[in-house]
A = this chain, B = another copy of it.
Amino acid sequence: MDSMTVIAVVSIVTAGLTIAIGSLGPAFGEGRAVATALSALAQQPDAAATITRTLFVGLAMVESVAIYCFVVSMILLFANPFWNHVIAQAAGH
């Protein structure tokens, strides 16, 4: 296989695996946070405002980790510096 194919192949596989593996942690973490929020609401309905506000801040923090993975995955698919270099090189050849 020539260089371009190898880099394309590797970018595809890595883009997929990055978001796939990277979704495990945030999904578990968010599920856990939401679950506790619900049982906290059931236990102390008066504190609903504080609880939901803290929940949303927390979910945003956890979601940020998933977004790091999504960003890397999108960079690999659509703004891959190594692919651009190879394309440029092939064009300028």
Contacts and interface: CB of A to CB of B under 8 A. Distances in A.
Interface of A: 1-48, 50-52, 54-59, 61-66, 68-70, 72-73, 75-78, 80-83, 85-87
Contacts of A43: 39, 42-44
A13 B15 contact: no
Q: How many copies, total?
A: 14
Contacts of A52: 50, 54
A79 to B, nearest CB: 9
Q: Which of A16, A22, A80 lies at the interface centre, i.e. has the most chain B CB atoms within 10 A of its CB?
A: A16
Contacts of A28: 25, 27-29, 31
A10 B6 CA distance: 11
